[in-house]
Structure 1
Amino acid sequence: MLPTLVIGLREGLEAALIVGIIAAFLRKNGKSLAPMWVGVGVAVALSIAVGVVLRVVERSLPQAAQEGMESIIGAVAVVFVTGMIVWMNTHSRGLKRELEAEATEAIRDGHAYALAGMAFLAVLKEGFETSVFLLATFTASSSMTLAAAGAVIGVVIAILIGIGIYAGSVKLNLSTFFRATGAFLILVAAGLVLTSLRTAHEAGWLNGGQQTVLDLGALVRPGTVQSSLLTGVLGIPADPRLIEVIGWFAYLIPVVLFVYWPRARRAQGMQVAKVQFWLAGAVAVVALGFAVLAPLTHGSQPHALAIAGATDAAGSGTAQLKGSTLSYTLGASSSTVRLAGAGTRVQHNGVSAREWSVPVTPGSLSAPKQLTLNQLVAENGGRLPVGINPSSDPGPFDASWKLTGKLQVWSAGGALIDAQQSTHTLVTLSGGGLTTPRTLSISLTDLAISNWAVTDAAAQSAASAVSSAQAEHELWAVQLPIALGVAALTLAAFGLRSRRRALTDQNTPVIPTAPSAIQTAPQRSTSYAAQQ
């Protein structure tokens, strides 16, 4: 409830201040307020519609898509609230003066309706930001009712303060107010960063860095004051994970330093551009370091997997892949197979892997040229093969043998994740009463090569380990460098803008101007302690 109350109060007060300043200016200059109120009403309606549409769309999506949309909404909300904090921290002292200067220019040019447009755009901007930010906060809140109540209370208080300021009965130090609420909203936004990273993982977008860093279960117990403060207000869960902690600090520290760095020590003019360029270069170097070094530390390591024969008599053993050679032991025997080529790219056990299929043939065949009916039944597991009639086909039969089989191997990142060997013994019988040759699949112990496979538990464990390694590689070698690269480009763009501004300021002569009659007129109903 507290986060949404502060959001509603702050965003609502920003809109109320702008509308109040414009309304007082219009009234003082004898202009009608009707167009302005129409613009405000339309902006409020559009803002509410945006929130409702986003909520309806989100609820209509499948679960994974809902988590993805929540991540996007959370990221947009963080950008909005950060921009709002920074802008108000910079302009709160001169907000009234800047708006009245723009209003004076609009009236001089005969564009009174432009002031209504200013009110419309101001309310629409604040309303849209509020809708997105509140929607993201509602998603992270444990109680939708309390969160909505907090937002309504905050907006109502903001409207009352705005009316009081307009009527001249309330004096408010805007700079102090916005700096104080800004500190709280920075913590709330940092919690939204953490929540967005959590929902991105649940959407399947971010699977690396999911190691639990802290166990706050003893501190964050449901129903306690600590739980309400840490989880309900600041968005900190009981099991913060590595990437979430990194994201929390990566947002909190730079924003706090930027907003609350002492004004006397802030860079000025061309120094601002130099600092931004230096930071852009440092972030780019870090991004390059992750892209180059991360693959060396997050690769899959080869290890042996447990295998078992198709029958108890075949025994058990292990299989391991080293380079392009598979070696395995089964019972008292061992063998090696060299895998040719690069294999085929497939999905196996939920992992992107490469598959090899190697034909299996015995080194030599030692099998009887004839089979009696009793031998045929014994080799067929004690059952008479289908299609053989003892009365009409008494045997013995001429036997022609053939062995077919293959070894299948799956690997990912150089590690074995699964393997199996399967063979089939085919015998073609003729004579012994058979009118036509019959081909049967039977098991002949001294002819067949042992069938075996990696155990299910070992295959699942190997796939899970490889999947985790691939996710870590994706995070540290791809996703994080891309994010840092975007941050570096953004800082460089800000540096270019700061450089252009500094050059413009250096080349622009300062011309003193006398205050206008409108600016020096008595301000009966819009006095602010921040401008006094």
Structure 2
Amino acid sequence: MLVPFLIMLREGIEAALIVGIIASYLKQTGRGQWMPAVWVGVFLAAALSLLVGGGLELMSAEFPQKQQELFEGIVGLIAVGILSSMVFWMRKVARSIKHSLHTSLDHALAGSRHQVTALIAMVFFAVAREGLETVFFLLAVFQQSEGPAAPLGALLGLLLAIGVGFAIYSGSMRLNLGLFFRWTGLFILVVAAGILANSVQALHEAGLWNHWQDVVFDISAHLPMDGPLGSVLAGMFGYQDAPTVSVLGAYVIYLVVTLVMFFHPPAPAKTAHPSSVTNP
């Protein structure tokens, strides 16, 4: 429940920030009459995300066992790629996202005969990106979880994200977004490592990956996956009580590489050479 809650909270706040930045800029520049077009874009993006998620879930339910394992492995790999890119994309553009959205908004509304369509499309693509990222992650989590806990966690995260986004927009709440995205990004990388490990296992069960299947260790007698603590660790971090070389290797290699990249300081901004600066 905690994993979908936190991911939905993070993704929801990202989407709320995008909509809030656009709404604030329209209000500040005296273009508040364009807000209905913004909400149309948000609605269409949400509808697309629900349609894609529901369609994939219904489609997978019709698969035989091996095809279900293959589908689970492929969705997991896609989710890992999306989650990883999401973390590093936000780390890279966090400081410039406001300026980028303002520029895109000005461009969409500048002298076009189809300003409404341009604005709807801009909001749609910005919000749909967040929605589709969330869809693939939740599919990977739901396939590894049983019962209503995961969907309930996702719903609670979404509701809280909407409330936080509205509070930030109205000015009644201040949130250290840099710190928030940094810690949730770190958590997402650990979760993604578990999804990757489970995806490797699913591909093996589907008969597609049969290399390095020796068991590294077996602690099922002390911390079984179907026990209270083991099930929590499995649901949150992809814990396995008897991992194979390929499963454990995928987990460790991914985590080491991404954590090194995550904690590596970003490159300093380039400054103009004195000789290239001209006086106004």
Q: Mark yes or no: TM-score above 0.5.
A: yes
Once the two structures are TM-superposed, the CA of residue 93 in structure 1 deviates from its matched residue by: 2.2
Shift of 1:107: 3.3
Residue 221 of structure 1 deviates from its aligned partner by: 5.3
8 Å Cα contact 2:72/2:143 also seen in 1: yes
- Cα shift readout 1:223-252 (whole Å, capped 9, x = no counterpart): 42x314421210111111100111111211
Amino acid paired to 1:95: I
Map 1:335-346 to 2 at 5 A. Answer: none
Hey, what does 1:448 align to over in structure 2? none
Contact persistence 2:225–2:240 (CA under 8 A): no
In the alignment, does 2:119 pair up with 1:115? yes
CA contact (8 A) 1:43 1:127 kept: yes
Shift of 1:85: 0.3
- Give the letter aligned to residue 142 of structure 2: F
**Equivalent position of 1:235 in the other structure:** 238
Pairing partner for 2:202 from 194, 199, 215:
199
Whether 1:7 and 2:11 are equivalent positions in the alignment is no
Match of 1:46?
Answer: 48
- SS of the residue corresponding to residue 214 of structure 1 reads coil
> In 1, are the aligned partners of 2:108 and 2:122 still within 8 Å (CA)?
no
**Superposition CA RMSD, Å:** 2.2
- Structure 1 residue 109 displacement after superposition: 3.9
Distance 2:66 2:12 in 1: 33
Describe the shift of the 1:213–1:510 C-alpha distance in structure 2 as closer, same or farther (beyond 3 A).
farther
**Aligned-pair CA distance for 1:32:** 2.3
Gaps of 5+ in 1: 270-504, 514-532
**Is the Cα contact below 8 Å between 1:58 and 1:69 reproduced in 2?**
yes
**Structure 1 pair 126–206 and aligned structure 2 pair: CA distance change class (3 A):** same
- What's the offset of the Cα at 1:137? 0.8
* C-alpha distance in structure 1 between counterparts of 2:167 and 2:158, whole Å: 14
SS in 2 for 1:170: coil
CA displacement at 1:115 relative to structure 2: 3.0
Does the alignment pair 1:138 with 2:158?
no
1:229-268 paired onto structure 2 within 5 Å = 229-263=232-266, 266=267
Aligned to 1:91: 93
- Kindly tell me: are residues 511 and 192 of structure 1, through their superposed partners in 2, closer, same or farther at Cα, counting changes over 3 Å? farther
2: CA distance, partners of 1:75 / 1:153: 26
1:343-362 correspondence runs (5 A): none
Distance 1:248-1:171 versus aligned 2 partners, 3 A rule: same
C-alpha distance 41-238 of structure 1, shift in aligned 2 (>3 A): same
2-structure distance, mates of 1:211, 1:512: 68
Size of the aligned set, in residue pairs, is 272
Q: Which runs of structure 2 are paired with 1:67-78 in the superposition (5 Å)?
A: 67-78=69-80
Counterpart code for 1:19? V
- Cα deviation code 1:485-531 (max 9, x no counterpart): xxxxxxxxxxxxxxxxxxxx99xx66899xxxxxxxxxxxxxxxxxx
Residue identity opposite 1:106 in structure 2: A
Structure 2 CA distance for partners of 1:213 and 1:163, relative to 1, 3 Å: same
Q: Give, as a single letter, the amino acid of the residue that structure 2 aligns with 1:63.
A: Q
Structure 1 segment 49-68 matched on structure 2, within 5 A: 49-68=51-70
Preserved CA contact (<8 Å) 1:36 1:117: no
Cα deviation 1:127-166 (Å, max 9, x = unaligned):
111111100111112x241000011111111111111111
Q: Residue 220 of structure 1 contacts residue 227 of structure 1 at CA under 8 Å; is this kept in 2?
A: yes
Does residue 214 of structure 1 match 2:233? no
User: How far 1:108 moved relative to its partner?
Assistant: 3.6
Percentage of identical aligned residues: 39
- 1:268–1:250 distance in 2 versus 1, CA, 3 Å: farther
- Deviation of 1:15 after TM superposition, in Å, equals 0.9
Cα pair 2:225 2:234 within 8 Å, conserved? no
Amino acid at match of 2:5: L
* Shift in Å, 1:102: 2.4
Match of 1:22 in 2: 22
> Which residue does 1:148 correspond to in 2?
151
1:172/1:129 Cα in 2 relative to 1: closer, same or farther (>3 Å)? same
Question: What is the deviation of 1:39?
Answer: 1.3
Distance change in 2, residues 1:62/1:511 (3 Å)? farther
Matched residue, 1:105: 107
Residues 247-326 of structure 1: matches in 2 within 5 Å?
Answer: 247-263=250-266, 266=267
Query: Does the Cα contact within 8 Å between 1:138 and 1:144 map onto a contact in 2?
Result: no
TM-score by length of 2: 0.90
1:205 aligned counterpart, secondary structure: coil
Higher helix proportion (structure 1 or 2):
2
Any conservation in 1 of the 2:197–2:248 contact (CA below 8 Å)? yes
Q: Which has the larger radius of gyration?
A: 1
Q: Give the direction of change, closer, same or farther, for the CA distance of 1:123–1:99 in structure 2 (3 Å limit).
A: same
TM-aligned CA deviation for residue 220 of structure 1: 3.6
Q: Report Cα offsets for 1:452-486 as digits up to 9, x if no partner.
A: xxxxxxxxxxxxxxxxxxxxxxxxxxxxxxxxxxx
Distance (whole Å) between structure 2 residues aligned to residue 59 and residue 127 of structure 1? 22
